[in-house]
Amino acid sequence: MMSWSRKTIVLISFHLLAGHCKSLRTESPTSPLGSEWIPAGLWIPDLFYRALANFTVRNVGSIDCQKQTDLYETNLRNHTSWAVRMAESWDRRPIGILGGNMYHFGIYDECVDVRYPIRGQYCLPEVKLISASSDKNFSFIRTEDLDNFGNNHTWHTILGWADYPDQIRRNILKLGICIPDSCTASDLQISLQKEFDNVFSPEDIKAQVKVDPITCTVGRDMYPYNTAYYVTVSILCLLILICCCATLHHFIISLNHQNTEYAYEISNPLFSSFSFINSCKELLKFDSKNELNIINGLKLLVMLTVLYGHKYGYLSGYPLVYSKSLEDLFLNGPNIIITSMNLVDPFFFFSGLLMYLTVSPIFLKKGPVWIKLISPIIYRILRILPTYCMMMAIVSHILPHYGDGPLWPQKVWHEAEKCKDYWWTNVIFISNFIDAKYQCLLISWYMSCDIQLFIIGVITVYVYTTNSKYGIGLVSVLLAVSLFVPFIITLLNKSDAILQVYIPFLENARSSITFNKTYRPSYMRATPFIIGLGTGFIIPKLKEMKLKFSQITVFAGTIIAFIIFLWIQLYGAIFYQRDRPYYPIEQAFYSSVSHSVFPFLCVIISVFHFTTGYGLLTKVFANRFVVSLGRLSYSVFLVNLPIMLISQSSLRLPNYLSAKNLFNAVVHDIFYCYLASFILYLVVEAPFRNLVKIMFGRRIKKSSSTTNAPVNNTV
């Protein structure tokens, strides 16, 4: 009896001790940071699966929603094909959360391809995970070890996450779900929130659900077809028809009347302006003796770099399956990528340089001063507007119907609506002074800056041609002001010296305060234009002096200038350092200097080129092929972001950001950008440019080459 009692006591004691240990493990474990609770043996995918294993929209919404849900559940139990396809088209167990895989799309097309007896509706809810208890500490000290930035504890990484600008958020997931199309986004949000509360609340976790109606789509074009759509399509078709007729007329007359004066009847403005043959001849026009050819070559080089940067930004700002390669960029570089948001400064420089070379002869002619001042401005605006307006119309009314996908409505439709409401700010060139969230076409700020600076440039050139001393003095004052204004604005507002391409900016550039307040205004971007204008004053004087340099001096000077440029440019990476104090003077000074580095390099290249030349290197940047592609820069500048928007918004799965994938994506989009710009050039830009020439009494040349081959100084 005594033996049995001892055994009983030991067993009971062991059982109580085990229960106490289990209680300690499941209810109040300790952690390195002192949090008092961690879900035992559970991870986020387990909790999601608990909530979503048998999920559908139940007991909410309209009668139609409830009927379709009942029909779906009945057929799912019977393994009916359409119901099973809806059910298997989305993930219940998200993966790669710690790796930065925020988007779990499922199979979009499998969902929306269900059309009978109910239509499948694809939605993309957002779920944010936070601690439900304020007295539990999940904070952690972030390290630069991207594999262990949550102090080696995954729940701390999720529940203690802060909004780090250089890392993808780990506490937010976006999960594709397929539901009947009679149910609304609100119905889905209510049902999801209820299921998540049942599963996550007992674990002291709050799962906040948000379903934006624009993220719910079905397998048909949901964007409305309105009168503006049909008008835009009709205008495009009419322009193409006119161009085809003019081309056919040109071709027939050229065949029948070769080597006669009658063969040039096609040069009648009404025909030659719209002829594809004539437009192609102008595009391919080349004079090997024209010193300005190199400008088109340099514009091509800069444009290719801009396209690379834009594509990198689009790939990084859209869903990534593994974000480490992007996050590593902010820690380990290459720094040239994150410091090159001033890459369009060479375009401002070329604009100022070419503006002087093309406008100054006007002021040497006789005629009323006010006509001389106004005519270049009107001429430039009329050259820009047709292509500009066509792109706005396409983005507003045609682009939304062009594709589909989980992200298509929220990305493309928003762009279209902005252009429908605020196109007029582009037409009068003030888009850089309105809030960026309303800006039609993300690049329109550049066009507004260009015209605003061009107006200042025309006045400056007039003063210079009237009195060179006053002109030089005016340029000097403008340059000083253009350097002082960014300095003082950055200092007073305590803004960033450069536009930092952190992840929130990549996801939505319009949300950036720096982009909105200090990147777009013309008074912050005037320095390159003024330097280009001043270079235009200097170059003719140097040519008159017949100044020559040795080839050693030319190349050595260029290399030294490039090294200085690179050092100043890469200094901007210091502003990406984590926890670095903000030094107002340093930020203000670099804000002023950063827009001078590209113009500095361009001045050196321009002086050496126009006085001496770069020998064989000149042929690389000034051959027929390169010059022709350079002439497409304006159209490429307009079409590149819409092209990239199409390719990225059509995604069905997240990207993987690798060098190979980036290269393939860049080559793909560059090809389509130049193809689209070539079509836009033939149908809109070249014909209307020629019509504007006719309006201003300028003769359209018939020859295939000319001493002063045209250089497009718009971009």
As a residue count, the chain comes to: 715
**Mean of pLDDT values over 628-655:** 95
User: Of 419, 443, 448, whose CA–CA distance to 433 is shortest?
Assistant: 448
Segments in 285-413 forming alpha helices (H): 293-317, 324-332, 335-338, 345-363, 369-393, 408
Q: What pLDDT is recorded for position 581?
A: 94
* Of 33, 27, 28, 327, residue with least CA distance to 156: 33
Long-range contacts (CB closer than 8 Å, 24 or more residues apart) made by 249-257:
249/275, 250/275, 250/277, 250/278, 251/277
What confidence tier does 445 reach under pLDDT thresholds 50, 70, 90?
very high
pLDDT band at 267 (very low <50, low <70, confident <90, very high): low
What is residue 37's predicted lDDT score, i.e. its pLDDT? 54
Q: Quick one: pLDDT at residue 14?
A: 39
Q: Which pLDDT score, from 0 to 100, does residue 260 have?
A: 41
pLDDT score for 258: 63
Q: Is the pLDDT of residue 76 over 70?
A: yes
β 217-218/205-210 pair status:
unpaired
Task: Give pLDDT tens digits for 564-589.
Answer: 999 999 999 999 998 899 999 999 99
Least reliable range by pLDDT among 7-21, 590-604, 701-715: 7-21
- In the chain, the largest separation of any two C-alpha atoms, in whole Å, equals 132
Tell me which residue of 471, 459, 599 sits closest to 525, measured CA to CA.
Answer: 599
Query: Does the pLDDT at position 348 exceed 50?
Result: yes
CA-based end-to-end distance of the chain: 101
Whether 26 has a pLDDT exceeding 50, the answer reads: no
Task: Give the pLDDT mean for 341-354.
Answer: 96
Sheet-wide strand order for 205-210: 103-104, 172-175, 126-131, 205-210
Please work out, in degrees rounded to the nearest 5, the angle formed at the alpha carbon of residue 371 by the alpha carbons of 369 and 374: 110
SS3 state of residue 128: strand
Query: 59 or 34, which is more confident?
Result: 59
Determine the pLDDT at residue 4.
42
Q: How confident is the model over 398-423, as pLDDT tens digits? A: 999 999 999 999 999 999 999 999 99
Res 713: pLDDT: 64
Question: Rounded distance, CA 609 to CA 547, Å?
Answer: 11
User: Is pLDDT above 80 for 104?
Assistant: yes
- Which one, of 406, 319, 410, lies nearest residue 107 by Cα? 406
pLDDT of 688 > 70? The answer is yes
Band of residue 394 on the pLDDT scale cut at 50, 70, 90:
very high
Task: Report percent pLDDT > 90 for the chain.
Answer: 76
Residues with Cβ within 8 Å of residue 284, at least 6 apart in sequence: 624, 628, 704
pLDDT at 79: 94
Instruction: Report yes or no: 345 and 447 within 8 Å, Cβ to Cβ.
Output: no
Compute how many other C-beta atoms are within 10 angstroms of the C-beta atom of residue 368.
Answer: 9
Distance, CA of 591 to CA of 575 (rounded, Å): 11
Average pLDDT of the chain, as a whole number: 88
Mean pLDDT is lowest, of 51-65, 146-160, 504-518, 556-570, for 146-160
Distance of alpha carbon 276 from alpha carbon 287, whole angstroms? 21
State the Cα–Cα distance between residues 700 and 272, nearest whole angstrom: 9
Confidence of residue 38 (pLDDT cuts 50, 70, 90): low
pLDDT tops 70 at residue 603: yes
Whether residue 297 is predicted with pLDDT greater than 80 in this model: the reply is yes
Rounded Cα–Cα distance for residues 592 and 515 (Å): 16
Residue type present at position 495:
S
Extract the tokens encoding 437.
């969230």
- What Rg do the C-alpha atoms of the chain give, in angstroms? 32
Is 34's pLDDT higher than 60? Answer: no
Mean pLDDT of 325-330: 91
For residue 145, the 8-state DSSP code is -
Do 204 and 136 contact (CB within 8 A), yes or no? yes
Predicted pLDDT at 8: 42
DSSP assignment of 634-673 = HHHHHHHHHHHHHHHHT-SS-B---HHHHHHHHHHHHHHH
Give the residue, 146 or 51, on which the prediction is more confident.
51
Query: CA nearest 328: which of 601, 658, 665?
Result: 658
pLDDT per residue as tens digits for the range 200-252: 999 889 999 999 999 999 988 889 999 999 999 999 999 999 999 999 988 88
pLDDT at 32: 38
